[in-house]
Structure 1
Amino acid sequence: MRPDALPESASRPVVTPLSPSVVYASDTPDMLDQQYDGGLQGYTYAREGHPNADVVAKRVDRMENAPHMGVLTGSGMGAVSAVLLGLTETGDHVIGSTQLYGRSLRMMTEDLPRLGIATTLVDAGDVDAVRAALRPETRMVLVEVVSNPTLRVADLEGLATLCREAGILLVVDNTFTTPRAIRPFDWGADIVLHSLTKLLAGHSDVTLGYVAAQDEALNNRLRVFAVTAGLTPSPFDCWLAERGMLSFDLRFDRAEQTAACLADHLAGLPGVARVLYPGRADHPDQARAAHLLAGHFCNMVTFELRGGRAEANAFTRAADGLSFAPTLGDVGTTISHPASSSHRALTAEKRAELGMSEGTFRVSVGLEDPETLCAVFSQAIAAATGG
């Protein structure tokens, strides 16, 4: 039996309806053929697409200036997987930044080689190093605009030129920076991806990813792989993400302003060895950040506490009201410790090469009152370092 039709209404809902249906019924086999062939717009099976996913994808498309409707996935790593596994094959070579998100690094260093896909990690701010890593079989370069967790800024302009000349794909993870700060397609990126879980959704209650390609054929390949691999996003997560995105600009701007205040405050505390924030004059990539990010230096701050693991433990215990959690982009400020979370798989020596120590913390600044937030950090750092 068919379900009862929805009651007719001369008005329409203000909020996008949630559509949890797994399957959608067509009237005839001919109609179903037309839907699959593209002659009719319609949904068939939720793994292949559903209304809530399309609503969110189109919203991110507008933000990113994407030429084709992007693909929503069940997580940010789903988007990374769609690119690295859906667009490469045995014998290919992929170049990645040395400071990608931890699970992206794991896929680059463990999973791709297992499948016969070679990888090389280089400094994304050094175009000559990337050029030196190129091989005839190189398929793509994967970078984040601002790295995790040392907030180094990729030479996106130089990389786009290099990739275009070499005939390879430039893939940009725009999760940290978001389209509020930069639209990588406008700078020559071929593929842009996001963990919508973070700043765009913004409330730590959604797990979702997004990926879109400049080229329509590549975009279709990404979509087909995502459907085949079952990278399907939940309608409920999409519905929540749309709600969160309605306030994104306001949240981003407020958190960014507070992050700049916090970075300056931390730099003046005796228990802090150094502070990394792209908007500060002492950041090694400040000029590049100003050029690429149009004055938006984002909400992430990294600092190094004086001392080691004992001081790090003392700091998190004393940071009342702050969540010590391996995430970012929430309305509340969260603190992350790379040595015990995102980069725990690396040796201490390797972390040191990348600029991380046991005292390194990454802060995702939220919407708290700036003075209150600075006071919390002052007290926690003093408690940890004896200041």
Structure 2
Amino acid sequence: MSESIVRRTPWPKSSSRPVVTPLQPSVVYASPDPDGLDRQYDEGSGYTYAREGHPNATVLAQKIDRLEGASGGIISGSGMGAIGNVFLGLLKAGDHVVGGDQLYGRSLRLMTEDLPRLGIETTLADPTDARRIEAALRPETKMILVEVVSNPTIRIADMDGIAKLARDRGILLVVDNTFTTPRGYRPFDHGADIVVHSVTKLLAGHSDATLGYAVARDPALNEKIYVANVTWGFTPSPFDCWLAERGLHSFELRYDRAEVTATRLAEALAKMPGVTRVLHPSRPDHPDHNRVQSVLGDRPGNMLSFEVEGGRAAANALTRAAPDIAFAPTLGDVGTTLSHPASSSHRALTEAARAEIGISEGFFRVSVGLEDPELLIREFEDAISAARSA
């Protein structure tokens, strides 16, 4: 009878090391004895069970930490998981949260439906004016959640005013930095207490990994966010972490290239017949143009939105006439993607609620990718021409 090979083959030793981070899908890690396991938990060294952490998540978190000027970042299974960790770890029934009124659609749902169900009260206010945020505060307000650049309306938050307000009142400021990324804005440099990301988007950059990231400046708060991540089981996949780490290696190159192309595309769209408005921070007609320089400097980013005449019929015609531009509710891919908020991210809002924040049936969001700018401009010209004909 041959010897068993089940869990009996040691990992090969080598005097060299792998250049590429190894993928470690193991769910469990064996310890030498109970004393050794105690030391691991007491000292925070090593790994025990993947829900509590694994090497690929650690490597990815450390790389994003370096970009954000942070330490101890926590990787979760999605961007919404990261936001959920912050809420679940730091808030309790009776607390109050103020959020920007133009947050990502699922963040809006979390604020308006799910947190109140848990006894956490919420108020939405215009983040482009710190006075509106201030007016929404209550004695029990514990947290403010904003996006630097709103999704999908591309409005620029009054970050200096909101940060001062939060600091003066002792309220935690949480910044969703998904759109801007640390290439465009580093929240901790401007007074934020907590930063969250949907790593799925620009950081990973290839639409093949679903992950989130959260980190607090205060280690004590960070520990509470980590505990929520472990307890609620927002476990990130090692494979997705491995893919996202690979994507990070080209992040700055991708961001810079897409940003330049987005600026050119915004200029071209503004000249096309049938386009009623274009929103990109580089444009002098942007509604928050007076704030762009102080918040974003010369980094307008790769995200833009535009509106066409004609309602849903025009929207259908536009997307059908651009088959090589993926019509998909995502952003940050190497390829340009087109999103229609009224039928995707903000479909849960009433038509009147969408209109109030500037989202019509002819409103589109564009995540600009790495294609040749002239090619993209031609494709959008054809698509918008088809929308006019509709």
TM-score by length of 1: 0.98
- SS class of match (1:367): coil
Query: 1:23-74, CA deviations, whole angstroms, 9 ceiling, x for partnerless residues?
Result: 0001010010010001x621000000000000000000000001x3110000
Distance 2:262 2:289 in 1: 15
Q: Which runs of 5+ in 2 are unaligned?
A: 1-5
- SS class of match (1:10): coil
Whether 1:5 aligns to 2:10 is yes
Aligned length: 385
Q: Residue type of the partner of 1:59?
A: K
Map 1:179-258 → 2, pairs under 5 A: 179-258=182-261
Moved more, 361-370 or 281-290: 281-290
Q: Which runs of 4+ in 1 moved over 6 A?
A: none
Whether 1:117 aligns to 2:120 is yes
- SS class of match (2:119): coil
Indicate the residue corresponding to 1:140 in structure 2.
143
Indicate the residue corresponding to 1:359 in structure 2.
362
Deviation at 1:377, TM superposition (A): 0.2
- SS class of match (1:217): helix
Deviation at 1:8, TM superposition (A): 1.5
Whether 1:369 aligns to 2:386 is no
Distance 1:5 1:291 in 2: 56
Distance 1:8 1:82 in 2: 39
8 A Cα contact 1:145 1:177, kept in partner: yes
Q: Which of 11, 29, 32 pairs up with 2:34?
A: 29
- SS class of match (2:16): coil
Deviation at 1:2, TM superposition (A): 4.8
Whether 1:380 aligns to 2:364 is no
Indicate the residue corresponding to 1:41 in structure 2.
45
Distance 1:85 1:329 in 2: 27
- SS class of match (2:266): helix
- SS class of match (1:275): strand
Q: Which of 58, 61, 64 pairs up with 2:65?
A: 61
Distance 1:294 1:232 in 2: 36
Whether 1:86 aligns to 2:92 is no
8 A Cα contact 1:276 1:301, kept in partner: yes
Moved more, 168-177 or 341-350: 341-350
Indicate the residue corresponding to 2:172 in structure 1.
169
Percent of pairs with identical residues: 66
Query: 1:302-356, CA deviations, whole angstroms, 9 ceiling, x for partnerless residues?
Result: 0001110000000000013111000000000000001101111111111111011
Q: Residue type of the partner of 1:275?
A: V
Q: Which of 17, 25, 40 pairs up with 1:20?
A: 25
Distance 2:7 2:374 in 1: 59
- SS class of match (2:292): helix
8 A Cα contact 1:101 1:342, kept in partner: yes
Distance 1:128 1:384 in 2: 40
- SS class of match (2:208): coil
Q: Residue type of the partner of 1:286?
A: H
Q: Which of 46, 55, 68 pairs up with 1:51?
A: 55
Distance 1:341 1:189 in 2: 30
Note the aligned Cα RMSD (angstroms).
1.0
- SS class of match (1:232): coil
Q: Residue type of the partner of 2:166?
A: C
